Amino acid sequence: MSENVAVIGIGHSKFGTRKDVNIAELCWESMKPAFETANLEPKDIDFFVVSNAGMWSSEAAIPALIAEYADLAPKGSMRVEAACASGSAALRVGYTAVKSGMVDLALILGVEKMQESPNPNVIELIGRFGSYFWEFENFGLTFPAYYALHGTAYMMKYGATEEDYAKVAVKNHYYGAKNPYAQFQKEIDVETVLKSPYIAWPFKLFDCSPITDGSACVILASEEKVKELGIDEKVWILGQGVGTGTANLSRREEFTSLASARYAAEQAYKMAGIDIDDPANYLDGANVHDCFTAPEIIAYEDLRFCKRGEGYKLIRDEQTYIGGKIPVNIDGGLKAKGHPIGATGVSQAVEAYKQLLQKAEPGRQADINKGRWLAHNVGGTGHYTYVTIYGLEKR
Amino acid sequence: MNEEVKKNMEEFGFPVIVDEKSGAMQWVDMRELRLRYIISVENIKPFYEGLREGKLMATKCKKCGRIFFPPQKDCPSCFDSDIEWVELKKEGTLETMTVVFVKPPSFGQYDPYPVAIAKLDDGPRILAWYSGDPQQVKPGQRVKVQVSRRKEGYLMYELAPI
Ligand SMILES: [Zn+2]
């Protein structure tokens, strides 16, 4: 058993429309730098996990595909799926495998090539991530619509406005513009968001994360392996919590919060030794699952960066920019960086490593004083939530 | 299949196109798959029998009284499958809503549709299309469950303002 598990290598592909590469090539784009930063070769890896939601792309046996392309055969592997939280689910599998002592080095690869299918097909498929039979089959809910039901409930209960939501998009585009790996490297203003066409009221085009191709990769190592390899640059996984929500939204008690996120956060904070009543004070920043604008605000509350009903004030007062109470999604978030479903959770891990080791690009590096970073990754509409805490010092 | 693919297949020999934006060559898959699932409703037949008569049916565990909607045939609290079917009162209060403008292609024949979640007076919540004007919805909006025939020809429940 390994008391602690570290991220010792990272890689990130350019996110966006990647018609220039096939799936295996896109995988290698993030695997290569992950091997290089860890100073390892494929033969060193004991076990690898691939997160990929698939359906819209041609290849299903991606672990085998990359075993072949990147010389990982005959090492053990699997593909995991937890909707938009697939990346964190893959991390969970690798993390527990290393922590248990079963393996010393695990490679986690998240990849999605959504644009192998036309957009309408992707919209159709992604809407099926909730309760297919009761909520999709007859009522045609889409992914934005599921979250819009939360966005509306939040506005009705707390008096937040569409303009507040727009401010989340403005912030995330502001930082996306400074991230060379982001799909949208362009700043926008509130007007742009408010004037964009409705997708699912109250969400407009610019409230929504895009359809993205991309991959991200991390290599996890046991404490013993870190010592043996003499690795200087690494971040430790201090804790991870996981929660699951009901398939049907109609089986839930409220729509201004995600119960699975609150549950996962509580576990992660406990494991990482963070005071649940004041977590922002323990963190230098966070990546939260902003597949749409409103869920970023709801995440502030589920993660207890502020009280319930006050999340919209954090963005209004620019408290989630660098220099504020807690910087959030300063890589552009899903909104501007892009949201290649299976890669997103792994991309968040890459960002935690870069931020904590102060390797983020100019203009988007947070001040690192506390040495801890949080990643909040939601699958479906709170159908799954993973909260992971990374740190410079092991527990 | 689009004309460009056909033309390239004849002239060049392969089903390829050049992506307009990136200029990158793409192989256009020759294997098209259409999906339509066959889903068992054997154990919730009374739900559909009720709906035909305009009733909203739920299941209730005979042991603990727990009500399930959408209906389910097993009670995980009691490890028991001794359930009965009960009719829910068809009124409740709207809790949240959205209007779906960008639709899945399989809903392409419909205009943008409002979807709402209501809490029924009997306890369970229900998600369905809302037949009223979404702009007229007020906090605490009272709604009723009614049955209408879909464009595809089948019966389905919806929410309507009272
Ligand atoms: Zn029971």
Could you tell me the residue ranges of all domains in chain B?
90-162
Residues in chain B within 8 Å Cβ distance of A202: 98
Of B19, B29, B115, Cβ closest to residue A139: B115
Tell me how far CA of residue A20 lies from CA of A24, B18, B20, B26, in angstroms: 12, 10, 12, 9
- At residue B1 the predicted structure's pLDDT band, cuts being 50, 70 and 90, is low
Q: For residues A175 and A193, what is the distance between their CA atoms, to the nearest angstrom?
A: 16
Q: What is the CATH number of domain B90-162?
A: 2.40.50
Would you call A217 a catalytic residue per the annotation? no
Q: How far off is chain A from B42, nearest CA to CA, in Å?
A: 14
| Binary contact (B127, A199; C-beta < 8 A) | no
Q: What is the ipTM of this complex?
A: 0.96
Alpha-carbon gap, residue A133 to A247, rounded angstroms: 10
How far does chain B reach from its first CA to its final CA, in angstroms? Answer: 49
Rounded distance from Cα A128 to ligand 1 centre (Å): 30
User: Residue A203's beta-bridge partner residues?
Assistant: A200
DSSP annotation of A367 reads: P
DSSP A256-281: SS-HHHHHHHHHHHHHHT--TT-GGG
CA distance A248 to A131: 5
Q: Which amino acid is at B161?
A: P
Q: Which of B99, B93, B88 is nearest to B135 (CA)?
A: B99
Q: Where are the domains of chain A?
A: 5-118+211-229
- Torsion on CA atoms B134, A261, A80, A328, rounded to nearest 10: 90
CA B124 to centroid of ligand 1, rounded, Å = 16
**Does domain A5-118+211-229 match CATH 1.10.238.10?**
no
**CA-to-CA distance for B110 and A146, rounded, in angstroms?**
18
- Each residue's pLDDT expressed in tens, for chain A with a length of 395 residues: 889 999 999 999 999 999 999 999 999 999 999 999 999 999 999 999 999 999 999 999 999 999 999 999 999 999 999 999 999 999 999 999 999 999 999 999 999 999 999 999 999 999 889 999 999 999 999 999 999 999 999 999 999 999 999 999 999 999 999 999 999 999 999 999 999 999 999 999 999 999 999 999 999 999 999 999 999 999 999 999 999 999 999 999 999 999 999 999 999 999 999 999 999 999 999 999 999 999 999 999 999 999 999 999 999 999 999 999 999 999 999 999 999 999 999 999 999 999 999 999 999 999 999 999 999 999 999 999 999 999 999 98
Say whether A84 is catalytic. yes
Of A239, A244, A279, A274, nearest in space to A91 by CA: A239
Q: Does B35 touch chain A (CB under 8 A)?
A: no
* pLDDT for res B139: 86
Nearest Cβ partner for A145 among B19, B100, B128: B100
* C-beta atoms of A250 and B124 within 8 A: yes
What the block records as the tokens of B114 is 């409002």
Closest residue, chain A, to B158 (C-alpha): A139
- CB-closest option in A19, A124, A144 to B106: A124
